Amino acid sequence: MTDFLDLKTVDQILEMIKGFTPLAAEKVPVAAALGRALAEPFLAPHNLPGFDRSTVDGFAVRARDVFGASEGLPAALDLIGESQMGQICQLNLGPGQTARVWTGGSLPIGADAVAMLERAREVRGRLVELVAPLAPGENVILADEDAAAGQELIPSGRVLRPPELGLLAAFGQTEALVRRRPVVAVLASGDEVVGVDDEPRPGQVRDVNSTAIAALVQAAGAKAKVLGRSPDDLAVLIEKVRAAATEAEAVVLTGGSSAGQKDYTLKALAAWPGAEILAHGAAISPGKPLIFGRAGQKSLWGLPGHPAGALITAEIFLKALIRRLLGAEEPAWLGGLKARLARSVPSAQGRRDYFRVKLSLRGSELWAAPALGKSGLIATLVGADALAICPEDGEGLAEGDLAEIRLL
């Protein structure tokens, strides 16, 4: 009887992945940095915006001059001029005075609030009547309100989105320091596997995993190197792994990872000089026959041949490795996304189950309907919006239970 002698838990494997070191940093133009992780914290080099600005079109005032203003008793102010865009306003507001200001414009000296144009009545271009009071600071951004010099604005490891790129631009940064994108080599093994553009003979199947895993690698922010297929031939596999390892940070074999007689994947990965197999078998469903190893800073993967099992283990583990190499922080709050289960799902103690679920709204509440289907079925994954997670310390989840979900 053959068996996996030492199943590693999901958390044990995720912990091992943290043992890898993020790749070297490189500078890229800000316009090309979308989705990359910042390799250093970004501190504000100076105050932003750097001068007191209006956030609306209107009239700058001293708030205390319009205290108690109302429709019945408007505050009447003398209009003494206009703040020009692109210049620091040199007008000095005395008591009872106001000046025109545009959105983004600099405030006159002495002004501490701006009345919106829509709330003001201009009388013959000399007088402005305000029909409501203003609080000090209303419709104003102070010189250091967006950022104070030296303040940490973006933490290291943050995946750069449009707001972060905008912030870098606001400080004149044209480049961002990010980590080099890892290269992940993908190889499909199995005598029964033919190419996508081949016509499979009876008993053969097309290579689904090269396409799907390469796409997942790309979506995770790495570069995929598709190596094609290998027959169940140990010498060929060893040679292909060796060739891949010279230029890739990770080598992913799909198929041949279970504990059967023809499973050359383990041997091929273990044959790599310095290779250490860290896990052969994981307490996860689907995906139990996972192989994970390392040789120095390179990682070695044997994913199940079933496309669904391969994709789900890649989603959980390979993506975590890629994020680690990119130095990208995964936020803890992601674990807070939840949905109610539309039917009960069985699990086993000590194993973490990832159920493919289709999400829908019942009223305003999110429900997750688990797909009925076996791990070999890729169609059920196509129908899934998310994975619902059944943790190790239970024997399943009941209909109506709130389950943690991971959006796909």
Residues 338-357 that bind a copy of itself (CB under 8 A): 338-339
Using a CB cutoff of 8 Å and minimum separation of 24, what contacts does 160-165 make? 160/33, 160/34, 160/35, 160/36, 160/37, 160/38, 161/34, 162/34, 164/38, 165/30, 165/31, 165/33, 165/34
The distance from CA 339 to its chain's CA centroid, rounded to whole angstroms, is 20
Q: Does 30 bind a copy of itself (CB under 8 A)?
A: yes
Query: In the chain, how long is the greatest CA-to-CA distance?
Result: 98
Min dist CB 386 to a copy of itself, Å, is: 9
- Under 8 Å between Cβ of 77 and 93: no
Cβ pair 124, 79 in contact under 8 A? no
Closest contact distance (angstroms) between CB of 217 and a copy of itself is: 9
CB of 10 or CB of 16, closer to a copy of itself: 10
Q: Say whether residue 85 binds a copy of itself (CB under 8 A).
A: yes
Residue 119 near residue 131, CB atoms below 8 Å:
yes
- Closest approach, Cβ 6 to a copy of itself, in A, equals 14
Kindly tell me which residue out of 15, 192, 395, 399 binds a copy of itself, with binding defined by CB under 8 A. Answer: 192
Cβ nearer to a copy of itself, comparing 296 with 350: 350
49 near a copy of itself, rule: CB under 8 A:
yes
CB 109 within 8 A of CB 137: no
Q: Does 206 bind a copy of itself (CB under 8 A)?
A: yes
Q: According to the binding rule CB under 8 A, does residue 118 interact with a copy of itself?
A: yes
For position 6 contacting a copy of itself by CB under 8 A, the verdict is no
Coil, helix or strand for 358?
strand
Query: Least Å distance between CB 105 and a copy of itself?
Result: 7
Tokens found for residue 33: 């940095």
For residues 271 and 302, give the distance between their C-alpha atoms in angstroms, rounded to a whole number: 13
With CB under 8 A as the contact rule, the residue among 69, 111, 130, 153 that binds a copy of itself is 153
Q: Which stretch binds a copy of itself (CB under 8 A): 7-15, 61-69, 252-260, 295-303?
A: 252-260
Distance CA 300, CA 282 (A): 15
Identify the bridge partners of residue 53 per DSSP, sorted by sequence position. 106, 141
Q: Is residue 125 a contact point for a copy of itself (CB under 8 A)? A: no
Tokens 């807070």 locate to 336
Residue 306 within binding range of a copy of itself, rule CB under 8 A: yes
Q: Which stretch binds a copy of itself (CB under 8 A): 61-69, 140-148, 179-187, 272-280?
A: 140-148
- Gap between the Cα atoms of 37 and 30, Å rounded: 12
- What residues between 366 and 395 interact with a copy of itself by CB under 8 A? 366-367, 373-379, 381-382, 384-385
| Site residues (CB under 8 A) for a copy of itself, limited to 261-300 | 261-263
In terms of C-beta density within 10 A (0-12 exposed, 13-18 middle, 19 or more buried), how is residue 9 classed?
middle
201: contact with a copy of itself by CB under 8 A: yes
362 beta partners = 365
Q: Which of 64, 121, 267, 343 binds a copy of itself (CB under 8 A)?
A: 121
2 binds a copy of itself (CB under 8 A): yes
Helix, strand or coil, per DSSP, at residue 299: strand
Site for a copy of itself (CB under 8 A): how many residues? 121
47 scored as a contact of a copy of itself (CB under 8 A): no
Q: Which amino acid is at 282?
A: A
